[in-house]
């Protein structure tokens, strides 16, 4: 399960749907993926963002680095789709790298512009 910025913001706001999705993922032993750029979009103060800090530290969560290969793939994806949001593109690249990947998103429209075949759990 890959989380976009909207999902992380919803978690911090106490959204019960996001909390339930994360609890279900943990119970099933599913990994949580957070692209590094997404984390940068929402991270402001780990002392105040307790739920987010706890999620990032949890054993089942992996923050995916913005490597050269990921950056190039995201840029190319933006070029093909005619968009400019490279962070959304890194979400797509991240979820594509996971077997049976799902994105939890508050903004599925932008992600669908990048990849109409994504499996998205809207929040």
pTM of the model: 0.94
The CA-based angle 10-15-19, given to 5 degrees, is 100
Q: What is the pLDDT of residue 47?
A: 87
Q: How many domains does the structure of the chain reveal?
A: 1
Q: What is the pLDDT of residue 99?
A: 87
Q: What is the pLDDT of residue 61?
A: 97
Going residue by residue through the chain, which has 123 residues, state the pLDDT in tens, using 9 for 90 and above.
999 999 999 999 999 999 999 999 999 999 999 999 999 999 999 889 999 999 999 999 999 999 999 999 999 999 999 999 999 999 999 999 998 899 999 989 999 999 999 999 999
Q: What is the pLDDT of residue 7?
A: 97
Q: Is 21 exposed, middle or buried (0-12, 13-18, 19+ CB in 10 A)?
A: buried
Query: Residue 109 half-sphere exposure, CB side, CA atoms within 13 Å?
Result: 0
Q: Identify the CATH number of the domain in which residue 68 sits.
A: 3.40.50.1010
Q: What is the residue range of 62's domain?
A: 2-122
């Amino acid at each position: 399960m890959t989380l976009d910025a909207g999902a992380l913001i919803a978690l911090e706001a106490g959204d019960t749907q996001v909390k339930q999705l994360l609890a279900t993922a943990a119970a099933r032993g599913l990994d949580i993926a957070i692209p590094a750029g997404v984390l940068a979009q929402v991270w402001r103060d780990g002392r105040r963002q307790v739920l987010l800090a706890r999620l990032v530290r949890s054993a089942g969560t992996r923050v995916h680095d913005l490597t050269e290969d990921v950056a190039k793939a995201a840029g190319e994806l933006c070029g093909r789709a005619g968009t400019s949001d490279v962070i959304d593109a890194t979400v797509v690249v991240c979820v594509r790298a996971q077997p049976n990947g799902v994105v939890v998103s508050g903004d599925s429209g932008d992600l669908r512009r990048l990849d109409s075949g994504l499996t998205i759990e809207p929040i």
